[in-house]
């Protein structure tokens, strides 16, 4: 694992989180969408921003697959990361009293679990060396 590449991946993730939060709040406050619809839209927008950032910044030295196919592969990996993220969160708030008392700790652990899954999945399957 390249720590430099992982750092770039984390920076793209932070920017994508900003996209996620902005789209979510816009959906909720300005468009008055329900929280589930707003979150679904914000997830897709953030995931798309993350794909573009990783394609152009984190993995720019890797061969480029056709954008549509690569975006779809990234979406599949991101959904897997979401499972790790939410799964970690759910396990911790269910079984660890401290996490139940401070759920933000469980959310942070889930974010890390999802980020590692997404990084390794993206490296191996989406932006792979040929």
Helices (H), the chain: 3-25, 35-53, 67-95, 97-101, 103-121
d(CA 119, CA 3): 11
Instruction: Over range 69-86, report the average pLDDT.
Output: 95
Q: How do the domains of the chain map onto residue ranges? A: 3-126
Determine the straight-line distance between the first and last CA of the chain, rounded to whole angstroms.
17
Q: Do the Cβ atoms of 42 and 20 come closer than 8 Å?
A: yes
Q: Are 83 and 38 in contact (CB under 8 A)?
A: no
pLDDT at residue 1 in the model: 66
**pLDDT digits 0-9 by tens, 40-52:** 999 999 999 999 9
Nearest to 115 by CA among 25, 19, 12: 12
102-117 pLDDT per residue, tens: 888 888 899 999 999 9
**What's the token pair of residue 83?**
């499972």
Q: How confident is the model at residue 92 (pLDDT cuts 50, 70, 90)?
A: very high
Checking if the pLDDT of 130 tops 80, the result is no
Q: What is the pTM of this model?
A: 0.86
């Amino acid at each position: 694992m390249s720590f430099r590449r992982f750092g770039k991946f984390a920076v793209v993730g932070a920017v994508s989180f900003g996209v996620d939060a902005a789209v979510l709040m816009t959906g909720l406050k300005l468009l008055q969408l329900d929280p589930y619809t707003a979150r679904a839209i914000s997830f897709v927008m953030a995931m798309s921003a993350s794909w573009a950032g990783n394609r152009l910044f984190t993995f720019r030295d890797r061969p480029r697959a056709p954008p549509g196919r690569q975006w779809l592969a990234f979406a599949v990996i991101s959904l897997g990361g979401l499972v790790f993220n939410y799964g970690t969160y759910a396990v911790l708030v269910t079984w660890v009293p401290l996490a139940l008392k401070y759920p933000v700790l469980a959310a942070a652990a889930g974010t890390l679990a999802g980020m590692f899954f997404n990084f390794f999945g993206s490296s191996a399957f989406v932006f792979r060396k040929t």
